[in-house]
Amino acid sequence: MVTLGPEGTDAEAEARRHFRRVLLAGSFELAVQAAITKGCHAMVAAGFAERHRPGGEVSDLWVDLHFRHLGEVELVGVWEAPTKPMCLAARPTVGRPRTLALHPATKAFADRYLPDAERRYVDAKPLAVQQVLDGCAEGCIGSVDVVRQAGLTVLCEFRPTMVWCLYQPVNLHIQSD
Shared domain check, 66 and 95: no
Residue 68 CA, chain-centre distance (Å), reads: 19
Tell if the pTM clears 0.85, that is, is over it.
no
Q: Is residue 139 part of a domain?
A: yes
Domain range for 33 is 2-83+161-169
Q: Identify whether 51 is part of a domain.
A: yes
Assigned domain for 78 exists: yes
pLDDT at position 56 is 62
Q: What is the pLDDT of residues 113-169, one digit of tens each?
A: 999 999 999 988 999 999 999 999 999 999 999 999 999 999 999 999 999 999 999
> What's residue 52's pLDDT?
67
The CATH number of the domain holding residue 45 is 3.40.190.10
Is the residue at 176 inside a domain?
no
| Same-domain pairing of 77 and 104 | no
Q: Check whether residue 35 and residue 96 sit in a common domain.
A: no
What single-letter DSSP state applies at residue 70? B
Task: Yes or no: say if 140 and 102 are a contact pair by the CB < 8 Å rule.
Answer: yes
pLDDT > 90? residue 54 = no
Q: Please give the angle made by the CA atoms of 131, 139 and 107, to the nearest 5 degrees.
A: 95
